[in-house]
Chain A
């Protein structure tokens, strides 16, 4: 069965996040708890969500003796330029920009202390949270260049790990590409494969709208506009393990359901990333 390769330290999985850092990301995130002047920007919320995601991926791999490198992670921002937001120390692009989780765990940009609210029998307390990158929003949306950057990383990764679970690329954007037709780049990216299956490309659209999100659709029918239909076509269908994760999050999915959410609010974005970064349960 495809997408069933064991994820291990010998055959880790690669996760690449492409983050829109265009000027419109300064605008408020629709559906956030705070509204009006207190509403956080999309860039702020996205940075918080992705920093927390990196933390959770690391915690999944953390054991008493240290971090097991089940994953390597890349985070690429695209706005005034396309750049890696986290870097490792390995030779070659894929080793430099796809960072083993143990390396990430030891080298956050900084630690922030926040108050964690009381939960059950646990009193409120100050907890340290790692931060790897800060919000940024400037200029246009060079999504095609970002997809091309991801393609280079993924190609090298596959050459080094031809039998592993295929790389997962998740693109998070609030608008249309300003540097060409991303569908062609998406198809190129998804044409690469390991022995276990083709590269997975998922897309999350975040917006200032308070319209309810469209989550994991299985058909182009009923999508609100041409842009949504384009992102749908760019997105891979969910493999079995992620469909199971989606069902646990309360979604009704089937074999045609795509890794795509349109008009996501922060909660929908978190759910989507939780589903899309669980290629297999490590238990």
Chain B
């Protein structure tokens, strides 16, 4: 998906690629991508990755990504925003409810978990907001990596990141801010895709963004990457 949009002084192009792991249907994709979306003078975009071992993880990931672009306020503490996401999740869960088998009762009580990375882009500056191992990769006009955050190299990924839950205490919330220039881009990616991007971009430019998703999928399906849901959302500055 790509589009041009003018937002006062922020013009951008975006591409979104999201596929489930090999062998799964689209409905079983537990990644979510939302945006870019304009709010006042800013652009917001987000990706989220539901935890495989939790049930309803895909639904939770979609709520987090969509609520980020709709209602997240970077100048307010994230707890209230998370509370609103949780209320939406509970409302969904209560709406459809035939009697659960014992294991689904347990899973509902455990709740769902997901990682999240979102960006707020204003003219000349962007801020990143994240929990877990979804990544934001900032590249220049030549598609060389300038910054990668909150994880900076493929070796930093492991199987037990912090996650946002549908209940429980708020995990550590990470924040970063950088300037950006004409032609720069931000790529938001879930963990398997992010690790691959960081490996590709270590010593060379990243692939063209409109092809980057299919390149990642081909690498995965050749067995050169862990079989996982893949999501990459790119936002390129066109000033």
Contacts and interface: CB of A to CB of B under 8 A. Distances in A.
A67 interface: yes
Interface string B29-70: 000000000000000000000011101100100000000000
Interface in A1-29: 6, 8-10
Contacts of A10: 23
A128 B102 contact: yes
B55 A281 contact: no
Interface string B167-202: 110000000000000000000000000000000000
B56 A64 contact: yes
Interface stretch (A54-62, A72-80, A133-141): A54-62
Contacts of A108: 102
A85 interface: no
B105 A128 contact: yes
Contacts of A128: 102, 105
Interface residues of A, number: 28
Nearest to B96: A64
B102 A282 contact: no
Interface secondary structure of A, over-half rule:
mixed
B113 to A, nearest CB: 9
Contacts, number: 54
Interface of A: 6, 8-10, 55, 58-60, 62-64, 67, 105-106, 108, 111, 120-122, 127-130, 244, 248, 281-283
Interface of B: 23, 51-53, 55-56, 59, 101-107, 109-110, 158-160, 167-168, 226-227
23 contacts: A8-B23, A9-B23, A55-B106, A59-B103, A59-B107, A62-B55, A62-B106, A64-B55, A64-B104, A105-B101, A105-B103, A108-B102, A127-B105, A127-B106, A128-B102, A128-B105, A129-B102, A130-B102, A244-B158, A282-B53, A283-B51, A283-B52, A283-B159
